[in-house]
Amino acid sequence: MSTTPLQPLTAPATVTSWYEASARTRTRLLLDPGSFVEFIGPEKREVSPHLKVFDLPEQFDDGIVVGCGSLGGAKVLIAAQEGRFMGGAFGEVHGAKLTGLLRGARDIGSMPVLILFDTGGVRLQEANAGELAIAEIMRAVIEARCAGVKVVGLIGGRSGCYGGGGLIAACCSSLAVSEQGRIAVSGPEVIETNRGTEEFDSRDRALVWRTMGGKHRRLLGAADAFVDDTVQAFRDAALALLGEAGGFGLEILTKEQARLEARLRDFGTCADALDIWSAMGISHADAVSSLPADEFITLADAFGRISHDAR
């Protein structure tokens, strides 16, 4: 353990954009003031062993901050990905830090884990190590949850939550997402490259967001809470979700399976998110994208699918 490398004391959490903030700023403002203690901090220089082979710059924390702190007075473990360093991608060290944190959580059994996702998926330059890391992390999430640990994902960064990140997010107890947050496995460009622009036009940003963005994920029940783009809103959501989410076992998984089957049955023929929203009974589906956060939350509470009964 090391002391906390502090960040400038600038804006408070209420006005700090989650989307714009760095992993360190998010961590500092999300937790109770001054409570964060970092594990394997940047001064340990535990950098990627692969990037130098490609003549690429390293980052001292390999793009992920892990540690512990308190949230509303209760102890939590926390991991925050830096979406600006290599798109927040999972490499060997980056992945191992998260795996270790989750295994620690499993062993302790009583401290919940917050994962601040901001990732495009596996790091191309260390693909094998990265893929293995994703598998290890998924297993570690499940093991932690089996040991009674709540694992909450927070998604609203500039790199979204893609690839293996999307898979890990799906293993979490619950997720909070903002409008800017995107959750998926294949990214827009990947889909377009493989299936053509007719299938998915990655430059049509409105299409990207209404397909993968926070609002759609919340309405579908893929995310449990929708929040405004401030660190304070994510903090409030994390506190609420830690109060709610819980349990893991066959019964929950069976319910989850039923929920997903129902979703496919109800919306499987819809060609666009707008069709899904209309099918949900939302009268002005085309206005959803432009709704401010508070109005959208009211709408989602009325129409959106709730997932936490299944998780």
Partner 1 sequence: MEDLSLRHATREPAGGTEAIAIVGVVASGNLEVLVERVLTDRECLVEIRTTAHGFDDVWTAVVADFVERYSPGGLKFSINDGGARPDTVSLRLAQAVRLMERAR
Partner 2 sequence: MATWQLEREARDRRIRAGSAVARGKMVEAGDATRLLEAILRPGDRVCLEGDNQKQADLLSAALLAVDPAKVNNLHMVQSGVVLPEHLDLFERGVAKKLDYAYSGPQSARIATMLFGGKIELGAVHTYLELFARYFIDLTPNVALIAAVSADRDGNLYTGPNTEDTPTVVEATAFKDGIVVAQVNAIVDQVPRVDIPADRVHFVIATERPFFVEPLFTRDPAAITEGQILTAMLAIKGIYAPYGVERLNHGIGFSTAAIELLLPTFGEKLGLKGKIANRFALNPHPALIPAIESGWVTQIHSFGSEVGMEDYIRARSDIYFTGSDGSLRSNRALCQTAGLYACDMFIGSTLQIDLQGNSSTVTTSRIAGFGGAPNMGADARGRRHPSKAWLTAGQEAVAGGNALLRRGRKLVVQIGETFGENNVPLFVENLDALELAEKLKLDLAPVMIYGDDVTHIVTEEGIANLLLCRSSDEREQAIRGIAGYTDVGRRRDPKQVARLRERGVIRRPEDLGIDPLDADRNMLAARSIKDLVRWSGGLYVPPSQFRNW
Query: What is the contact surface with partner 1 in residues (CB under 8 A)?
Result: 2-3, 5-8, 22, 24, 41-43, 45, 52, 55-60, 82, 84-85
Cβ proximity to partner 2, 216 vs 235, nearer residue = 216
- Whole-angstrom CA distances from 169 to 6, 186, 224 are 28, 14, 12
In the complex with partner 2, the residue whose CB is nearer, 283 or 290, is: 290
Stretch that binds partner 2, among 56-64, 79-87, 186-194, 284-292 (CB under 8 A): 284-292
Q: Is residue 152 within a helix (H) or strand (E), and if so which, with residue range? A: strand 151-155
20 binds, among partner 2, partner 1, none (CB under 5 to 8 A by kind): partner 2
Task: Count how many Cα atoms sit within 13 Å of the Cα of residue 106 in the half-sphere of its side chain.
Answer: 16
Give 259-262 contacts, CB < 8 A, sequence gap 24+.
Answer: 259/221, 259/305, 259/307, 259/309, 259/310
Residue 179 in contact with partner 2, rule: CB under 8 A: yes
Q: How far is the CB of 207 from partner 2 (least distance, A)?
A: 8
Question: Residue 151: in which H helix or E strand, if any?
Answer: strand 151-155
- The pair of three-digit structure tokens given for residue 88, joined into one six-digit string: 């927040």
**Binding test (CB under 8 A) with partner 2, winner from 3, 10, 269, 283:** 10
Stretch that binds partner 2, among 51-59, 64-72, 203-211, 251-259 (CB under 8 A): 203-211
71: helix, coil or strand? strand
Look at strands 151-155 and 174-178 and give their pairing.
parallel
Among residues 55 and 198, whose Cβ is nearest to partner 1?
55
Nearest-approach distance from CB 93 to partner 2, in angstroms: 29
**Binding test (CB under 8 A) with partner 2, winner from 6, 7, 20, 302:** 20
Partner interacting with residue 52 (select from partner 2, partner 1, none; CB below 5-8 Å by kind): partner 1
251 vs 295 by CB, closer to partner 2:
295
Q: Contact region for partner 2 (CB under 8 A) — 92-100, 102-110, 143-151, 198-206?
A: 198-206
- Closest to partner 1 by CB, 52 vs 203, is 52
DSSP state of 305: P
| Candidate list 109, 205, 251, 286; residue touching partner 2; CB under 8 A | 205
3-state secondary structure of 55: coil
Q: Does 56 bind partner 2 (CB under 8 A)?
A: no
Q: Which does 42 bind (CB under 5 to 8 A by kind): partner 1, partner 2, none?
A: partner 1
CB of 240 to partner 2, least distance (A): 23
d(CA 103, CA 201): 40
**Which 3-state string (H, E, C) describes 191-249?**
HHHHHCCCCCCCCCHHHHHHHHEHHHHHHHCCCCEEECCCHHHHHHHHHHHHHHCCCCC
Please list, in sequence order, all residues whose beta carbon lies within 8 angstroms of the beta carbon of residue 89, skipping any fewer than 6 positions away.
Answer: 63, 119, 120, 121, 122, 123, 124, 130, 163
DSSP codes of every residue in 83-98 = TTSGGG-B-HHHHHHH
Region near partner 2 per CB under 8 A, out of 25-33, 107-115, 246-254, 288-296? 288-296
Contact residues toward partner 2 (CB under 8 A) are 10-11, 15-17, 19-20, 179-180, 203-207, 209, 213, 215, 289-290, 292
